[in-house]
Structure 1
């Protein structure tokens, strides 16, 4: 776990992949160019947010498939695919296919629960079964079984010239070990018990704690995850915070970044809403300033890999400056070494 003078093992970032609805292709191409640049800069991973009925990536698996053909080394993840809108059998087929095309570089992150704004479109998503759908962790277990090759069909054999398998095809060795789950305390415990990897984000809640401090709560979640993992020494945790280095930013960019963080700061002062959500402050400053903040952050001190979140609403030039500074300034301050291509 990183301390001053020790090494951060893996550096990545998370992006929504926004686009103009009048010209969605341009936004998707921009996302692919960003992934190519990330590999050139030596990043370990790029993670894609998943957004349905919004102007962000609605099909991260398809974007990852395209990215596999433009990159050779960098890992590609999702944070997270909401399984309430997915069929676990079909998703397992897609994930395995893309993983094979990538040479084993896919890191699918998933979550469960009733989809966001479900009542607005449930009759279009599940016309006959919208009141019967099971949005529990059973969906994750089904996905895991499908990825592992647990039989899903009663038939295996040949009919005419067609061959049929009992298990989902294709199978991609090692994919199950790169499956991630995101969530709060109960999810952290469950992910550990299942031997899944665990994604944290810039939002937690006060479930099971007396603390109102984001970093303390995030650290408690990570500790609970590891305490419930059958092999805690091999348990992977990735921390996600909004981190904006300004080393090479223009004065105009710095002003924009600070105004963005300031506009979102009030929500970090106390738990929000009925679920008592606690938001992390956005971290803006030079890489040296950010490193000092992270080395005093209880959550960061418990991880060996990060996927820093890019803000939703910036321009391409801003994202390129931020990720370049992450790789060339912030990463080295955290003891990280860029990977060679």
Structure 2
């Protein structure tokens, strides 16, 4: 069995060809798609976070709204760029959203990716400490966030407070028990996957990673996952970790599918995510269901993961994206033993 969810980047565009023409459209349609996905039997609704772009940005209002409209589906991010975040305020937001959702939140974090503006985190009031990089700063913010989620008191109470305090040092409220174990780290390299394991976070691995060996994408990603699991074992954590991978997968079951995705990219590609980092981008899958079953069965990283996130073309509208999800659940997943 494998958990199957969707991952939306939440794009919008005023173009007449787009079914998502405003920020309001993107947010409201994201909620509607999560509701539809839950009704179809999907396991997760995840959202990408990008600043300074016509995409979903501040995630917690959306996650709370999805939590209020659904009852079973996991609700998460992939990923929140921690270079931009106040980890204490974020812990409050995450605790509130998780309580609204009844303990279904699955926040995915990361040090971030190249953004729309130069050093965008500076506009949010953050800068790395002397001798550190922006990536170091993102990981430090994540460490503080994880500490806050433990629910331990750390702040000295006012001796004359407005409201009575419980005894001892105070923690952030609202606190949601169990949320700390449902935090994920989006890793682009083997080294950061190992770090995530040591920190006790679940692993998210997307459709790109650092090209570290020159092997096919799914082989490198599978190696990353195995390195993560070994580091988790060596760290001695007392629970089993979770691992997700993202894929663009489209089952061609009607004329719309063939028109949109009939010429899918069937090879990995190489590019650079910054001046110094050579990256490998995983192929997309688009074929009739029987062929998809054969091709996906050869994907080593999907086999290693317990969770698969389907990237969806949200600008094609809620109904079509629900169709994309349903086609995988109904026509592909059973043939692979996922359902």
TM-score higher than 0.5 here? Answer: yes
User: If the TM-score is normalised by the length of the shorter chain, which range does it land in?
Assistant: 0.7 to 0.9
Superposition map of 1:62-77 within 5 A: 62-77=61-76
Structural mapping, 1:109-120, within 5 Å: 109-113=108-112, 116-119=115-118
Assess if the C-alpha contact under 8 Å between 1:205 and 1:271 holds in 2: no
Describe the superposition over 1:147-204 as per-residue Cα deviations: whole angstroms up to 9, x where unpaired.
Answer: 1123341226652435476211111111011000011211110111112100011101
Aligned partner (choices 131, 134, 137) of residue 135 of structure 1: 137
Aligned match for 1:201, one of 203, 206, 219? 206
8 A Cα contact 2:193 2:203, kept in partner: yes
* Displacement after TM superposition at 1:113 (Å): 4.8
Q: CA deviation at 1:282?
A: 0.4
Structure 1's unaligned 5+ residue stretches are 1-7
Pairwise CA distance, 1:269: 4.0
What is the aligned partner in structure 2 of residue 225 from structure 1? Answer: 228
The answer on whether the counterparts of 2:26 and 2:56 sit within 8 Å (CA) in structure 1 is no
Secondary structure at the counterpart of residue 254 of structure 1: helix
SS in 2 for 1:137: helix
Note if contact 2:82-2:138 (Cα within 8 Å) is conserved in structure 1.
no
Residues 334/202 of structure 1: CA separation in 2 closer, same or farther (3 Å cut): same
Quick check: 1:113–1:135 contact (8 Å CA) kept in 2?
Answer: no
Which whole-Å CA distance do the structure 2 matches of 1:221 and 1:120 have between them? Answer: 28
Relative distance call for 1:231 and 1:197 in structure 2 (3 A) is same
Q: Normalising by structure 2, what TM-score?
A: 0.86
- Counterparts of 2:237 and 2:121, CA distance in 1: 39
The 5-angstrom pairing of residues 257-272 of structure 1 reads 257-259=261-263, 261-262=264-265, 268-270=268-270, 272=272
Q: What is the CA–CA distance in structure 1 between the aligned matches of 2:241 and 2:159, rounded to whole Å?
A: 39
Distance apart, 1:24 and its partner CA: 2.5
Equivalent residue number for residue 29 of structure 1: 28
- TM-score normalised over the length of structure 1: 0.85
From 245, 250, 253, the equivalent of 1:239 is 245
Q: CA-to-partner distance for each residue in 1:283-332, whole Å, 9 max, x for gaps?
A: 00122222211211111121222112124654444312211212222222
Unaligned runs of 5+ in 2: 15-20
What is the match of residue 211 of structure 1? 214
In the alignment, does 2:98 pair up with 1:99? yes
- Determine the C-alpha separation between the residues in 2 that align with 1:332 and 1:156: 59
Q: How does 1:301-312 map to 2 (within 5 A)?
A: 301-311=303-313
- The structure, 1 or 2, with the larger RCO (C-alpha pairs under 8 Å, 6+ apart) is 1
- Residue 9 (structure 1) aligns with: 2
**Distance between the aligned counterparts of 1:145 and 1:136, measured in 2?**
14
Q: Which whole-Å CA distance do the structure 2 matches of 1:59 and 1:246 have between them?
A: 34
Find the partner of 1:185 among 187, 190, 193: 190
| C-alpha spacing 1:228/1:68, structure 2 compared with 1 (3 Å) | same
Taking the aligned partners of 1:102 and 1:55, their CA distance within structure 2 comes to 26
Greater shift after overlay, 114-123 or 101-110? 114-123
- Which residue of structure 2 lines up, in the alignment, with residue 5 of structure 1? none
Classify 1:269/1:86 alpha carbon distance in 2 versus 1 (closer, same or farther; 3 Å). Answer: closer
Give the length in aligned residue pairs: 320
Report the Cα distance in structure 2 between the residues aligned to 1:228 and 1:304, rounded to whole angstroms: 17
Q: Distance in 2 between matches of 1:285 and 1:242?
A: 12
